[in-house]
Copies of this chain bind each other. A is one copy, B any other.
Amino acid sequence: MARALHEAEAAAKRGEVPIGAVIACDRRVIASAGNRTRELHDPTAHAEMLVLQEACTKFQSQRIGDCDLYVTLEPCPMCAAAISFARIRRLYYAASDPKGGGVEHGPRVFSQATCNHSPELYTGVDEVRAANLLRSFFAVRRD
Residues of A within 8 A of B (CB): 37-38, 40-44, 49, 52-53, 56-57, 59-63, 76-82, 85-86, 98-102, 105-109, 112-115
Contact = CB atoms under 8 A, between A and B. Distances in A.
Q: Work out how many copies of this chain go into the complex.
A: 2
B109 A114 contact: no
Given A41-B60, A44-B52, A44-B53, A114 B105 contact: yes
Contacts of A60: 41
B42 A62 contact: yes
A114 B108 CA distance: 11
Contacts of A78: 77-79, 81-82, 85
Contacts of A86: 43
A77 to B, nearest CB: 4
B77 A102 contact: yes
Nearest to A44: B82
Contacts of A85: 43-44, 78
B62 A53 contact: no
A15 to B, nearest CB: 13
A77 B76 CA distance: 10
